[in-house]
Amino acid sequence: MNSTPFAPDAPWRIDRTRLATIAERPARDWTIEIVDETGSTNADLMEQLRASRRGSTPAPMARVAYSQTAGRGRRGRAWLAEPGNALLMSVGCVLKRPIEGLSGLSLAIGVAVLDALAHLPLSPSARPALKWPNDVLLDDGKLAGILIETAWNTPDATAVVIGIGLNLHGAEQLAAQVDDANRQAAQSTQSTPGTAPAALARAWPDANLTDTLAAILNALDAALSRFEAEGFRPFRQRWLDAHAWAGREVVLIDQGMEVTRGIVSGVDESGQLLIDAPEGPRTVTTGELTLRLARERP
């Protein structure tokens, strides 16, 4: 889908000329598509990569949409955003690593998003941080979410799609929408609500899609090359330094029920969460359970 439901001169549209100037290598070597609306940028690139030849290593592809009709986050949660209020993007690429060598990729991408934010004119008082396994926080609110999917793999390569949704404006409106969605979900499932949303405009009143996209592309370009060569290990300390819940008591939840609780002691070199639980040290694999601060009971 590539419809045009928004005014062509809307002030929040991405300035392609400026993007080409400040996006560095991605602007030259990547395929960058910007569409008004689609179902899901992740689904679009998954389809493209699945149609590609296995084992091929095309240049990364970025797809950005101003609106998604079927945007989603981790565990199938809907990703809500009004046109111009959020950066909705996915990057598809082939990493020369087997699928088991992708451990910690979502954490490494979180570090890349922090690196991108460091190149934007945020207020000195802003506190970007990371929440395991795939959220970027701003002053304890959820600024961005990361969703990684694999399209195909061979013994020495994996095609991945990295979805990033980052809120720029409208945090209050978004919070109301999320609350409504959570109430509806609670009526039919045992899912637990996520962290309240935050928007980049809190730390950068003039937040815009063009500069944010360029910063993300530049940071991903560097991060993907490094992850391909070295895995999560070189990102680990940076992630630990930015971990919002380091040393705090958390609750592990499975389908709405508390499994255990304990103190977060960090992550290992494969990106697994380390918790000191009453029954002893516990390692939590990405996607295994839902994590909440202990005060947030299911």
pLDDT in tens, 38-91: 999 999 999 999 998 887 888 999 999 999 988 655 444 555 668 899 999 999
- DSSP states of 158-170: EEEEEEEEEE-S-
pLDDT digits (tens, 9 = 90+) for 184-222: 444 444 444 567 899 999 999 999 999 999 999 999 999
Can you tell me the distance from the alpha carbon of 169 to that of 184, in angstroms, rounded to the nearest whole number? Answer: 24
Report in angstroms the alpha-carbon separations of 68 from 4, 12, 203: 13, 16, 25
Answer yes or no: do 266 and 204 share one domain. no
Q: Specify the CATH number for the domain of residue 154.
A: 3.30.930.10
Inside any domain, residue 161: yes
Inside any domain, residue 298: no
Inside any domain, residue 147: yes
pLDDT band at 298 (very low <50, low <70, confident <90, very high): very low
Q: In the predicted model, is pLDDT for residue 29 greater than 80? A: yes
Inside any domain, residue 69: yes
Answer yes or no: do 62 and 129 share one domain. yes
- DSSP states of 53-76: PTT--PPPEEEEEEEESS-B-GGG
Answer yes or no: do 171 and 228 share one domain. yes
pLDDT digits (tens, 9 = 90+) for 212-253: 999 999 999 999 999 999 999 999 999 999 999 999 999 988
Answer yes or no: do 256 and 152 share one domain. no
pLDDT band at 155 (very low <50, low <70, confident <90, very high): very high
Q: Do the Cβ atoms of 270 and 293 come closer than 8 Å?
A: no
Answer yes or no: do 77 and 38 share one domain. yes
pTM of the entire predicted model: 0.89
Can you tell me the distance from the alpha carbon of 35 to that of 65, in angstroms, rounded to the nearest whole number? Answer: 5
Output the pLDDT for position 190. Answer: 42
Answer yes or no: do 30 and 121 share one domain. yes
Output the pLDDT for position 270. Answer: 94
Inside any domain, residue 5: no
Strands 135-138 and 141-154: antiparallel
Q: Which residues pair with 160 in a beta bridge?
A: 93, 150
Answer yes or no: do 257 and 165 share one domain. no
Instruction: Work out how many domains the chain is built from and give that number.
Output: 2
Answer yes or no: do 268 and 177 share one domain. no
Give the percent of the chain with pLDDT over 90: 69
Size (the chain), residues: 298
Output the pLDDT for position 72. Answer: 59
Q: Specify the CATH number for the domain of residue 253.
A: 2.30.30.100
Output the pLDDT for position 102. Answer: 97
Mean local confidence (pLDDT), 265-271: 95
Answer yes or no: do 226 and 265 share one domain. no
Mean local confidence (pLDDT), 94-122: 97
Mean local confidence (pLDDT), 254-260: 85
| Secondary element (H or E) of residue 135 | strand 135-138
Mean local confidence (pLDDT), 173-185: 52
Answer yes or no: do 178 and 280 share one domain. no
Output the pLDDT for position 78. Answer: 55
Answer yes or no: do 72 and 84 share one domain. yes
Q: Which residues pair with 292 in a beta bridge?
A: 251
Q: Which domain, by its residues, includes 72?
A: 16-241
Output the pLDDT for position 182. Answer: 45
Q: Which residues pair with 31 in a beta bridge?
A: 61
Helices and strands (H, E) in the chain, number of each type: 7, 12
Inside any domain, residue 216: yes
Residue type at 211 in one-letter notation: D
Output the pLDDT for position 186. Answer: 43
Q: In the predicted model, is pLDDT for residue 121 greater than 90? A: yes
Task: Tell me the CA end-to-end span of the chain in Å, nearest whole number.
Answer: 39
Answer yes or no: do 90 and 237 share one domain. yes
Average pLDDT of the chain, as a whole number:
88
